[in-house]
Structure 1
Amino acid sequence: MAHPDVADLVARSNRLGADPRNTNYAGGNTSAKGTDLDPVTGQDVELCWVKGSGGDLGTLTAAGLAVLRLDRVRALVGVYPGVEREDEMVAAFDYCLHGKGGAAPSIDTAMHALVDAEHVDHLHPDSGIALATAADGEALTAECFGDRVVWVPWRRPGFQLGLDIAEIARAHPDAIGCVLGGHGITAWGATSAECEARSLEIIRTAERFIAERTERLAAQGEHPFGPVRPGHEALEEPERRARAARLAPLIRGLASTDAPQVGHFTDSDVVLDFLAREKLAPLAALGTSCPDHFLRTKVKPLVLDLPADATLNEVEARLRELHEAYRADYRAYYERHAGPATPPMRGADPAIVLVPGVGMFSFGKNKQTARVAGEFYVNAVNVMRGAEALSTYAPIEESEKFRIEYWALEEAKLARMPRPKALATRVALVTGAGSGIGKAIAERLAAEGACVVVADVNLEGAQAVAEGLGGPDVAVAVRADVTSEEEIAALVDAAALAFGGVDLVVNNAGLSISKPLLETSVADWDLQHDVMARGSFLVAREAARAMIAQRMGGDIVYIASKNAVFAGPNNVAYSATKADQAHQVRLLAAELGEHGIRVNGINPDGVVRGSGIFAGGWGAQRAAVYGVPESELGQYYAGRTLLKREVLPEHVAAAVFALTGPDLPQTTGLHVPVDSGVAAAFLR
């Protein structure tokens, strides 16, 4: 049974974290102090439970808390070597853990343990950070709260900040909390309910204070971000989304110069309004302030300085110029502040790209990281708007940002992260993925770290697969009829808007009708060629456009068939279209190699179990041809192979991974049999 103080702390944390007005994702921390039985001495011991490093308040559980002996943490004050060596104190927390200690203690542990209150909340609300980053934040805090909330000048998170806040709380016994310059807020209370109420009081009071100032400006015909710049207004939604889809692969490729990234697109009203305003460029150049913000968004974004109606050619050329300038500027920033012990530069590409009239593109090592980076920049926009409504936005100094971005503790945190999976950062698009072989391929690619676009003419089936893979941070479902040029263009656009582009395409959609030549109608012939030969061509062509724009290479895999080279009975239309697909592999491998795009094929045979094609009538037809019960068709196919083993969808999926994973980077134009050995289908 959970300790009652722990249960209250988790419940409070979840409530606070559930409302984005209170704090950003994985931002802030909460704590409680109480007593519990020491199993060694049999005596009560004072403990501090505090959210561990990297956790999220909205989803926090008891397992995400660090558990420390309060007497030992407070004893660290006596051995504290001073602010120049305060980073050493994080390692010292390990000697203060109770039992196994729970989660790793965060850098803010001292703030919670040293403040003389049973419960402490440290949060990053947009309204609080707006006050914290206003040029005259100290005076504004006094005007907003009187003596009830105290101003704390900027100090990097750590042991000294904990000492500072503890001293301020002692010196102001009537205060309920403080505003941390450039950073956020902290509140405290004697009970969990009192602490939560005080946190919300600070946040809501700041919100009202900012709203009143904003309304005053509006009454004067003014806006915190200045007037709208002519020509920079948001495009109408259809045009805006179409332009975003065309630009996403290009921008993703630029943002992946140092390391591949996954993308996210945002065109919310708050973003579009900021991009249309006169103060966009100067405010964006100042960068974000709260450490949680700029650690995810980088020190500042890349901003396109062209109007919304500029041609795509003009935009592409200008983005490439701005990207080179951004990289040079970031390198100069690094060199201005780096010292002998500074970790190597991690990469000079932007994490946020702002395109007026269109929206915001954000990037990260996976979809969640990219999405959260965008959410953090929206937080930053809200902060800038609030600060400009109050006075002038004045974030912390660049040198302070650098100290945190290249903090040894941050570097150690990155080093503790698990190794990325083999297909991490890759965006896969699989057709016919709502069932059978396509579903198995989508599952394998997602398991290997890829983001997956699950395409199928049956949207309900595709949605079920995408949900099973983990939802929109892993997979999205798109209805696509591969015979439609328009729907395939929309499919690739959907991949660009969901994940930034596409790197890996599997042409799997198919069907089959088994008939002798004289019974095969033109409609039978056309249907199979439209779905498989034409469909594969359309998907490959549209995906290749995106891959070429990205300049990141890519993979295209065709799920052909043993029948592409084997003259089986009564299936002329199916086998002919599979031969068409097989030759597309060779042709496209030769044509796309100069762009680093590899094209390979897989020739399965007899994938009966779980197959949509076989379940749709093909199984009954082929069973009749071979004179066996349909229920025994899989065993029949296995029995005629060299290995005598049935081929399953996951075997085809394994071949897709083998061709697209890290082990065969020099292979293109290859057809891999997955047929348990059919000698008549040997390629040579």
Structure 2
Amino acid sequence: MLQKAPRSRLESLWDDAKAQGMSESGKLLYRSNLLGSDKRVTNYGGGNTSAKVMETDPLTGEQVEVLWVKGSGGDIGTMTLDGFATLYMDKLRALKGKYRGVQFEDEMVGYLPHATWNLNPRAASIDTPLHAYVPKRHVDHVHPDAIIAVAASVNSRELTQEIFGSEIGWLPWKKPGYELGLWLEDFCLRNPDAKGVVLESHGLFCWDDDARTCYETTLATINKAIAYFEEEAAGVPAFGGETFQALPPDERRAIAARLMPAIRGLISKDRHKVGHFDDSDTVLEFVNSKDMERLAALGTSCPDHFLRTKIRPLVVAFDPANPDLDGTLARLAPAVESYREGYAAYYDRCKHPDSPALRDPNAVVYLVPGVGMLTFALDKATARISGEFYVNAINVMRNAEAVSTYQGLPEQEAFDIEYWLLEEAKLSRMPKPKSLAGRVAVVTGGAGGIGSATAERYLREGACVMLADIDEAALEATRANLAGRFGADVVRTVPMNVTDESAVARAYAEMAVEFGGVDIVVSNAGIASSAPVEETTLALWNRNMEILSTGYFLVSREAFRMLKVQGIGGAIVFVASKNGLAASPGAAAYCTAKASEIHLARCLALEGAPDGIRVNVVNPDAVLRGSKIWSGEWLDQRASTYKTDKEGLEEMYRQRSLLKRSVLPEDIAEAAYFLASDLSAKSTGNIINVDAGNVQSFTR
């Protein structure tokens, strides 16, 4: 896990006892993971590290010098050894003879695979020459907020000299690539005593021949910058001082819950997006400040920040002192359209004849005064990480403005990175999105056998899932299990009693804040009861109706409200029962409530169709394994009804079916996946029986 220490100074975490006996590549990995464990050093996926190591050539058996360098797309905080590309240094040096000048530098990337050592399949990144040509064994390249604040100031060269003297040098802005690698080599040769260099509008390089010394040089350099800003910025109002006051936390979340589905709908017409909300102190200080709009318009500076946050954020017109949320919502569509038009104009101003086609023109970052920051991306992790990178940018702007004037990356330079053909090639290598990528699902009864199996099926296909259940202990156990397998980003929980109108509304609001909205609703909360009609109490009858009929109505009504705000369609799946179609002795309340569910689904299918909201039903039968309703009293009652014992009940149900097969939670989950996915995009008002065959429940 990434750690952020409470103290302002970075502390060395190097442990000689751990490092003793490590190979040089092992020390590189150790150093990399230590650097990446603190967001003040670099954010997720940011920066890269390398070591030049003597290795055995697999063909000749001779010792050769090999560059181990973070491969394309990796993260130094979490990577393992297989995340490093490995290249022969003699071949990398020979590449200089192929270099035809800066206008042809991109072609050098095509030569890198020819320098691969030991058939390593890890692709080398564009930053490989920056590490290869520094004449030191160990090199760190990171993006600390304190250093980028220096690099992004208009007088960054003078600040670098003032803070570091001759120990750390400075190079002007240059897009990462082969030419910058040669610049770094030239700087090192001309300044043999230098320990590193600040790259304007970019970040920090440090080096040494010893792994630990390189690591601690990086930390010491960052600490010097932190100390400088703490001293120089003391007493200086951040961002020109406060214009707005932050609303109370509950109000902030309530407003975000209204804004996020509306924004999500506006920007998800082509591909579904997932949202993230941040109302941390850092964000609130910025969005409430006098200079926020001026600084936001300048965009970010560091390429790592820019690629994840786009050219600039969209500032939502909201006045927390005079909150008119309905008016703000009404103004969202023209604001989003204006941003898209501005982005398209930026593309037209900066494009080259061979530039890739215009990409998604929607904003990634949305700043809301008094409330916080909303970020949207194609998946939850990217939305969260994009927000973290903008927090880095906020920290950079605060420090730069305290001692100088902040400057963003020049527009043409920003475009040339965003639409770099090498970046386009990297994007083209991304795996094809899974079938439910960008979708958000809520599963009621999510802690039960069918609910958890359905959630797992959706997670396997790339969805984010909100698990809802009345049993909070079982809910947490299910979340921990699924998060451990699919990642904490994509699984959330909310306690929900489906018969409580306010609880259902709160659950949807929570889902809006956590993920941005909803696309798939699985109504699965349930109970089961068995009693002859003359022994069925009014309380038992009402309980079945409250949970299995009224509960499904409340969950669906709230779903319709949010789905219509988004305006991008959706899918509702009712997990009903064979008993909704086929009568069963001794279960009048249960069967009637399940029949009510099925007819409610038909009614909702009619109402939802004009808005692209599909409503379908899965009818299970006798799903005993993992199901909470098949424990305790219900199991005893059904065993008594069919004159068998608990152990014989599943076999009785299996033999009763036409196919003589048991029905498992995973079988119901498969049907729920089909009805939620685009595989059934032209189906609504339908029923799928998953009961191993029961002639009484045939729908025709």
Tell me the TM-score normalized by structure 1. 0.97
2:316 is matched with which residue: 301, 304, 315? 304
Matched, 1:34 2:53: yes
- The residue type equivalent to 1:608 in the other structure is L
Residue matched to 1:329? 342
Residue matched to 2:395? 382
1:338 is matched with which residue: 351, 370, 377? 351
Residue matched to 1:437? 450
Matched, 1:396 2:412: no
Q: How many aligned residue pairs are there?
A: 677
- Structure 1 segments, 4+ long, off by >6 Å, are none
Asked if structure 1 preserves the Cα contact closer than 8 Å seen for 2:25 and 2:53, the reply is: no
Q: How does 1:396-435 map to 2 (within 5 A)?
A: 396-435=409-448
- The residue type equivalent to 1:458 in the other structure is D
- The residue type equivalent to 1:509 in the other structure is A
Secondary structure of 2:574 counterpart = strand
Residue matched to 1:105? 124
1:566 is matched with which residue: 548, 566, 582? 582
Shift of 1:543: 1.7
Q: Distance in 2 between matches of 1:10 and 1:616?
A: 53
2:331 is matched with which residue: 297, 304, 318? 318
Residue matched to 2:692? 676
Q: Distance in 1 between matches of 2:608 and 2:100?
A: 61
- The residue type equivalent to 1:297 in the other structure is T
- The residue type equivalent to 2:667 in the other structure is H
1:453 is matched with which residue: 450, 466, 483? 466
Secondary structure of 2:432 counterpart = coil
2:603 is matched with which residue: 584, 587, 610? 587
2:560 is matched with which residue: 536, 539, 544? 544
- The residue type equivalent to 1:283 in the other structure is L
Q: Distance in 2 between matches of 1:256 and 1:361?
A: 15
Q: How does 1:182-221 map to 2 (within 5 A)?
A: 182-215=201-234, 218=235
Residue matched to 1:262? 274
Structure 1 alignment gaps of length 5 or more: none
Asked if structure 2 preserves the Cα contact closer than 8 Å seen for 1:609 and 1:634, the reply is: no
Asked if structure 1 preserves the Cα contact closer than 8 Å seen for 2:145 and 2:396, the reply is: yes
Q: Distance in 1 between matches of 2:649 and 2:628?
A: 15
Residue matched to 1:644? 660
Q: Return 243-252 or 374-383, whichever deviates more.
A: 243-252
Secondary structure of 1:544 counterpart = helix
Q: Distance in 2 between matches of 1:268 and 1:88?
A: 43
Secondary structure of 2:119 counterpart = strand
Asked if structure 1 preserves the Cα contact closer than 8 Å seen for 2:318 and 2:324, the reply is: no
Asked if structure 1 preserves the Cα contact closer than 8 Å seen for 2:318 and 2:325, the reply is: no
Matched, 1:4 2:26: no
- The residue type equivalent to 1:88 in the other structure is E
Q: Deviations over 1:64-109 (max 9, x none)?
A: 1111111110111122111111111111111111111252111110
* Percentage of matched positions with identical amino acids: 48
Shift of 1:154: 0.2
Q: How does 1:235-250 map to 2 (within 5 A)?
A: 235-250=247-262
Matched, 1:530 2:546: yes
1:224 is matched with which residue: 238, 244, 255? 238
Matched, 1:276 2:288: yes
Change (3 A) 1:578 1:121: same
- The residue type equivalent to 2:343 in the other structure is Y
Structure 2 alignment gaps of length 5 or more: 1-19
Secondary structure of 1:210 counterpart = helix
Secondary structure of 1:388 counterpart = helix
Matched, 1:74 2:90: no
Residue matched to 2:306? 294
1:360 is matched with which residue: 373, 385, 388? 373
Secondary structure of 1:663 counterpart = helix
Q: Return 199-208 or 613-622, whichever deviates more.
A: 613-622
Asked if structure 2 preserves the Cα contact closer than 8 Å seen for 1:562 and 1:681, the reply is: yes
Residue matched to 1:351? 364
Asked if structure 2 preserves the Cα contact closer than 8 Å seen for 1:608 and 1:614, the reply is: yes
Asked if structure 2 preserves the Cα contact closer than 8 Å seen for 1:428 and 1:502, the reply is: yes
Residue matched to 1:148? 167
Matched, 1:613 2:625: no
Shift of 1:411: 0.8
Shift of 1:395: 1.7
Shift of 1:302: 0.6
Q: Deviations over 1:7-54 (max 9, x none)?
A: 100000011100111011110000111211113212110111111111
- The residue type equivalent to 2:241 in the other structure is P
Shift of 1:392: 0.6
Asked if structure 2 preserves the Cα contact closer than 8 Å seen for 1:608 and 1:633, the reply is: no
Q: Distance in 1 between matches of 2:697 and 2:330?
A: 49
Q: Deviations over 1:503-535 (max 9, x none)?
A: 100000000110011101111011111111111
Q: Distance in 1 between matches of 2:481 and 2:106?
A: 43
- The residue type equivalent to 1:16 in the other structure is L
Matched, 1:371 2:381: no
Q: Distance in 1 between matches of 2:271 and 2:576?
A: 33
Q: Distance in 2 between matches of 1:212 and 1:544?
A: 54
2:669 is matched with which residue: 618, 640, 653? 653
Residue matched to 2:75? 56
Secondary structure of 1:101 counterpart = coil
Q: Distance in 1 between matches of 2:266 and 2:352?
A: 28
Q: Distance in 2 between matches of 1:380 and 1:624?
A: 67
Asked if structure 1 preserves the Cα contact closer than 8 Å seen for 2:526 and 2:548, the reply is: yes
Residue matched to 1:25? 44
Shift of 1:2: 9.7
Secondary structure of 1:59 counterpart = coil
Change (3 A) 1:574 1:435: same
Shift of 1:142: 0.6
Residue matched to 2:11? none
Residue matched to 1:629? 645
Q: Distance in 1 between matches of 2:248 and 2:297?
A: 27
Shift of 1:305: 2.6
Shift of 1:3: 6.8
Matched, 1:518 2:534: yes
Secondary structure of 2:688 counterpart = strand
Tell me the TM-score normalized by structure 2. 0.95
- The residue type equivalent to 1:300 in the other structure is R
1:124 is matched with which residue: 143, 147, 157? 143
Q: Deviations over 1:299-346 (max 9, x none)?
A: 111101331242221111122121010000000011111122111111
